[in-house]
Amino acid sequence: MAMSSTHDNAAALAPFIEAHPRLFVLTGAGCSTGSGIPDYRDADGGWKRRPPVTYQAFVGDAATRSRYWARSLVGWRRFGRARPNGTHEALAKLEADGRIEVLLTQNVDGLHQAAGSRNVIDLHGRLDRVRCLTCERSLARAEFQSELERRNPSWSELDALDAPDGDADLEALDFSTFAVPDCAACGGILKPDVVFFGENIPRDRVDRAVAHLENADAMLVVGSSLMVFSGYRFARAAARAGKPIAAVNLGRTRADDLLSLKIERDCGATLEEATTLLDRSTSFPLSRLRERAG
């Protein structure tokens, strides 16, 4: 099925999009690095830094929660201010032009919605919400941030290296002095409304994405190495269903042997060029570009 071909030529992407009018788009961390949100993984898919906290450690250990929220208190300041970049804007435009069946994102930053994308499934949740594990009460992260700062004034003045997911590096500090508020309604544990490592994605969320994939005629991966199985499984399902897959990503992906088209370039510049070419295609048939690119 896969006719692996690698282009460093963005011109190859526009004909792919034009040939498949209902795209299932899967995005990852590479979309948001241009907005100042660091990536967890390097070009080979390895960890750049220590892996993030697991669900089991967060729920099972109060000291882990203190450490998580202390780091997050500092990291959120920059994360919460991040703005969409050219990648998000190009994908919002493709949706507005009626080319996208759904956008499934592994990112938790909400930047696709901020850029204007409407049909988005947040596979791993959203970091701008906090949820009670007992009563399901949900509150805005910004509101919770104010409460964290009120209870921990000396920590609020700390600064640290920005890290992925609003986390921050604050080593060698005594986290036991950090006060973490419980749910105001029931006293339960509050957790960011994101899927942690070791935690299951809600079944209905996966089912919705699968239904969209069935409706789609191709898959487009943007800025993801697909190293996490929750994203990779959709590439496998697309390949099984005979749907072609294109990927724009700097570095290898776990699905490289399933790809019909691979563009190893910056995703923002590539998508902007593709949308520009698609806009011109009424006067210049893209089939001619395809011959040139192929």
**Residues engaged in binding Zn ion (CB under 5 A):** 132, 134-135, 137, 183, 185-186, 188
Task: Give the CA count within 13 Å in the CB-facing half-sphere of 88.
Answer: 23
Integer Cα distance of 75 and 82 in angstroms = 11
Smallest gap from residue 192 Cβ to Zn ion (A): 15
Considering the candidates 20, 112, 124, 212, report the single residue annotated as catalytic. Answer: 124
Give me the phi and psi of 213, to 5 degrees please: -60, -40
The residues near 130 (Cβ < 8 Å, ≥ 6 apart) are 138, 139, 140, 141, 144, 190, 191, 192, 193
Integer Cα distance of 145 and 116 in angstroms = 25
124 is catalytic: yes
Smallest gap from residue 132 Cβ to Zn ion (A): 3
Smallest gap from residue 128 Cβ to Zn ion (A): 19
Smallest gap from residue 144 Cβ to Zn ion (A): 13
Smaller CB separation from Zn ion, 185 or 210: 185
Smaller CB separation from Zn ion, 132 or 277: 132
Buried b (16+ CB within 10 A) or exposed e, 177-189: ebebeebeeeebb
Smaller CB separation from Zn ion, 130 or 246: 130
For residue 171 the two structure tokens come to 């080593």
Smallest gap from residue 141 Cβ to Zn ion (A): 16
User: CA separation (Å) from 142 to 51, 92, 127, 136, 212?
Assistant: 25, 25, 10, 18, 32
Smallest gap from residue 189 Cβ to Zn ion (A): 8
Strand-pair category, 138-140 with 125-132: antiparallel
Starting at the earlier edge strand, list the strands of the sheet with 100-105.
6-7, 261-263, 245-248, 218-222, 23-27, 100-105, 120-122
CB 167 within 8 A of CB 52: yes
Start-to-end C-alpha separation, the chain: 17
User: CA separation (Å) from 236 to 79, 256, 259?
Assistant: 32, 11, 10
Smaller CB separation from Zn ion, 194 or 293: 194
Smaller CB separation from Zn ion, 45 or 181: 181
- Block residue for tokens 């789609």: 216
Smaller CB separation from Zn ion, 181 or 251: 181
Known catalytic residues are: 124
